[in-house]
């Protein structure tokens, strides 16, 4: 409060006193006691009013103590047990929780990571994969703007995700890796990586690429073999030295039988090898006798064409061919699905031929589409375009029932380009994506499908799909979401299979370290998706005959079950609907592969580089007392006292207004009581 404000308050007090004295001390007709009482009440009223007019401001300060954060990231993968470090990790975590001085100085928080990253309530060491990068990235998002040295308890062996060493380069705080594992290097042969196609065509050859790794000194010889059943289908002698410690072998195997073909790859181990689990890996290939051929007809060059080809051919059962309209007419009958990209007058012959052959189609329109031609050549849809560009977004229709659709983040995708005008669909159809402009739905379709006399068609009214695919990668670090979305459209359109009330989606084989999910859709008698049904799946192990039942959970417009609790083996399943006589059956195989068993020791070198990148220090788990002492003695990690000052004007103080009301009311009541009114 300034000296000027204090002066005004003093003057206000003098004026209020003078007025009260004049009113009740000079020529007053009231008794003496009432004069004093009325004068005091009037002084308080006037002085309070003057204070409100002056409106002085008061400063208030609150003080808070903020301790530095100390996030503790704990590896919850099964490699902790494989390296006999489970007890050591639990003991160290408990020591951190109960250490008095450490908790006095830091605000500790505990997280575990494996497949995912989450707050820690307990440790099971049962996660089948390790993603250290995800843990560091999530911690940076939580604590990047605070003082938060980070303890990373792990063996440093990451099995999927980005390289966490590069994540540490942009980490804002110091990382103190605690190495859980043996640093001794044992003599070891292992299959470092095995790559093969998931599908192959009958009587074709498919490649199997294997990277073999040797750890040790001196020269050694071994043999690499691939077997199917009890038969050896490939073998090759290999030798390693201390400097030439990797070998890449490519074997071309023949797909001689239809269906799931199981194989086993093995590098013959030494007799005294400590870890023989990583010498063998099972893999499988599904052999099919036909493929889906997709023809894209286009008269222009556009980046969407490349994005479509990449997405469609992610599934190796599908092949994409590009043709100009003049070239396409003669080969249309060789393809299961025709994609018409921005059709114009040159497509006249194509439409004539498709009409004769009753082909399934996907029409993609954009700024170079001739809508006058398109409105005339077919009757499924039309648009009164005005030759003006417009940016449109897509909103997923959660009630779309033709097949299961998952939201891949359409709200975050960049807009597509289309010509201004309302798209009218003139036949029965289902809208998969609704069109929106600036966040408001236009009640017009962006992507819709239709089924006419047993043949399937779809219309996508927008160009710029390549931007969607790029955004999918920026959001998820892979193209799987977008490619799966396009793949589902192609699968639906390329088939004329009659629709049933229940559709079940599953793979013929899974690796037990990857997500194992089966999804299903159930429709009522009008073929509308029924979200009130109760679906259950019964799974039978073909070897043990053990039966396990799981409920299927509703997820948007499909039901899903997670079967990752099942062990490796062959299974049959039946999906049934409660109180309905409808069921679907199938079978799948779970292949044994635990990537967490592939390691003999901790990755000391990489964890050391992470510490160096962030200015931290690396410790072995049996030297954690030194880590605690360093954290306690480090003067960079200080408790901060924060002051929060608020400037509050007197007019905001409601009690002063209440005081004015109270004094005026009291004066009126006393006058009334004494008969002076």
What tokens does 288 get? 């099919």
User: What confidence score (pLDDT) does residue 136 get?
Assistant: 94
Q: Are 194 and 210 in contact, with CB atoms under 8 Å apart? A: yes
In the sheet that holds 509-511, the strands lie side by side as 509-511, 583-591, 569-577, 535-541, 547-551
Per residue in 215-237, pLDDT tens? Answer: 888 888 999 999 998 889 999 99
Q: Are 156 and 602 in contact, with CB atoms under 8 Å apart? A: yes
CA distance 502 to 499: 8
0.85 surpassed by pTM: no
Strands (E), 97-204: 107-113, 117-119, 150-154, 175-179, 188-196, 199-201
The domain covering 188-288 belongs, at the CATH homologous superfamily level, to Immunoglobulins (2.60.40.10)
User: What confidence score (pLDDT) does residue 596 get?
Assistant: 67
pLDDT along the chain (677 residues), means of 10: 80 84 69 74 86 79 82 92 89 93 93 92 88 94 92 90 90 94 78 84 86 87 91 93 90 87 90 81 82 91 94 88 93 93 94 91 94 92 88 89 84 92 90 88 89 90 94 90 92 78 85 84 77 92 92 88 88 91 89 72 89 93 90 86 74 79 85 72
Please report, for the chain, the start and end positions of each structural domain, with discontinuous segments joined by +: 3-60+647-673, 68-183+601-638, 188-288, 292-493, 502-595
CA distance 27 to 258: 119
C-alpha dist (Å) from residue 117 to 72, 275, 317, 387: 12, 29, 35, 50
* Half-sphere exposure for 224 (CA within 13 Å, toward CB): 24
Same CATH fold assignment for domains 188-288 and 502-595: yes
292-493 fold: Rossmann fold (3.40.50)
User: What confidence score (pLDDT) does residue 499 get?
Assistant: 67
Pick the CATH number of 68-183+601-638 from 3.40.30.10, 3.40.1180.10, 3.20.20.70, 3.40.50.410: 3.40.50.410
Q: Are 304 and 332 in contact, with CB atoms under 8 Å apart? A: no
Q: What is the CATH number of domain 502-595?
A: 2.60.40.10
CB count within 10 Å of CB 327 equals 12
User: What confidence score (pLDDT) does residue 489 get?
Assistant: 92
In degrees and rounded to multiples of 5, residue 626 shows phi and psi of -65, -35
Angle at 321 between CA 199 and CA 325, to 5 degrees: 160
C-alpha dist (Å) from residue 267 to 191, 261, 533: 7, 20, 50
CA distance 600 to 204: 38
């Amino acid at each position: 409060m300034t000296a000027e404000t204090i002066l005004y308050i003093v003057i206000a007090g003098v004026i209020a006193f003078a007025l009260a004295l004049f009113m009740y001390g000079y020529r007053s007709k009231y008794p003496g006691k009432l004069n004093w009482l009325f004068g005091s009440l009037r002084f308080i009223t006037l002085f309070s009013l003057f204070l409100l007019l002056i409106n002085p401001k008061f400063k208030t300060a609150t003080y808070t103590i903020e301790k530095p954060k100390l996030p503790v990231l704990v590896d919850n993968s099964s490699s902790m047990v494989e390296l006999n470090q489970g007890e050591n990790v639990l003991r160290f975590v408990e020591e951190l929780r109960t250490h008095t001085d450490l908790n006095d100085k830091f605000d500790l928080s505990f997280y575990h990571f494996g497949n995912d990253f989450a707050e820690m309530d307990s440790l099971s060491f049962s996660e089948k994969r390790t993603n250290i990068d995800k843990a560091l990235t999530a911690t940076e998002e939580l604590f990047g703007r605070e003082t938060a040295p980070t303890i990373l308890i792990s063996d440093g062996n990451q099995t999927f995700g980005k390289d966490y060493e590069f994540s540490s380069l942009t980490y804002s705080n110091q990382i103190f890796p605690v190495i859980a594992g043996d640093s001794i290097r044992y003599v070891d042969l292992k299959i470092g990586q095995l790559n093969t196609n998931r599908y192959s065509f009958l009587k074709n050859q498919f490649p199997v690429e294997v990277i073999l790794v040797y750890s040790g000194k001196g020269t050694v010889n071994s043999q690499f073999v691939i077997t199917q059943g009890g038969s050896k289908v490939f073998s090759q002698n290999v030798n390693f030295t201390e400097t030439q410690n990797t070998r890449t072998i490519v074997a071309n195997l023949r797909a001689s039988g239809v269906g799931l073909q199981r194989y086993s790859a093995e590098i013959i181990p030494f007799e005294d090898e400590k870890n023989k689990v990583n010498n063998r890996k099972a893999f499988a290939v599904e052999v099919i006798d036909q493929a889906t051929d997709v023809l894209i007809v286009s008269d222009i060059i556009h980046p969407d064409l490349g994005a479509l080809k990449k997405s469609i051919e992610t599934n190796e059962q599908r092949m994409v061919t590009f043709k100009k309209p003049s070239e396409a007419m003669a080969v249309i009958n060789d393809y299961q699905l025709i994609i018409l990209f921005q059709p114009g007058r040159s497509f006249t012959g194509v439409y004539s031929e498709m009409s004769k052959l009753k082909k399934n189609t996907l029409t993609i329109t954009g700024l170079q589409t001739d809508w006058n031609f398109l409105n005339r050549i077919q009757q499924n849809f039309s648009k009164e375009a005005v030759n003006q560009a417009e940016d449109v977004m897509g909103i997923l229709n959660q009630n779309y029932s033709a097949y299961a659709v998952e939201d891949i983040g359409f709200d975050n995708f960049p807009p597509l380009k289309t010509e201004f005008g309302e798209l009218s669909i003139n036949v029965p159809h289902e809208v998969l994506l609704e069109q929106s402009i600036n966040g408001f739905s236009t009640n017009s379709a962006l992507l819709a499908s239709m089924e006419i006399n047993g043949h399937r068609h779809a219309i996508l009214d927008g160009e710029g799909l390549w931007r969607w695919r790029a955004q999918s990668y920026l959001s998820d670090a892979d193209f799987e979401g977008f490619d799966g979305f396009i793949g589902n459209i192609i699968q639906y359109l390329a088939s004329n299979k009659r629709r049933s009330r229940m559709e079940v989606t599953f793979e013929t084989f899974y690796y037990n370290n990857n997500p194992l999910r089966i999804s299903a859709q159930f429709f009522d008698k009008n073929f509308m998706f029924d979200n009130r049904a109760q679906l259950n799946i019964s799974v039978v192990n073909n070897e043990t005959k053990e039966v396990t039942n799981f409920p299927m959970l509703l997820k948007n417009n499909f039901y899903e079950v997670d079967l990752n609790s099942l062990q490796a083996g062959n299974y049959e399943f039946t999906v049934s609907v409660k109180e309905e006589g409808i069921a679907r059956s199938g079978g799948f195989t779970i292949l044994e592969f635990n990537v967490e068993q592939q390691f003999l020791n901790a990755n000391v070198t990489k964890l050391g580089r992470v510490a160096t990148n962030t200015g931290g220090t690396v410790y072995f788990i049996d030297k954690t007392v030194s880590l605690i002492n360093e954290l306690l003695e480090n003067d960079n990690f200080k408790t901060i006292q924060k002051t929060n000052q608020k400037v509050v004007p007197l007019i905001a103080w409601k009690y002063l207004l209440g005081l004015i009301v109270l004094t005026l009311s009291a004066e009126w009541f006393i006058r009334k009581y004494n008969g002076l009114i």
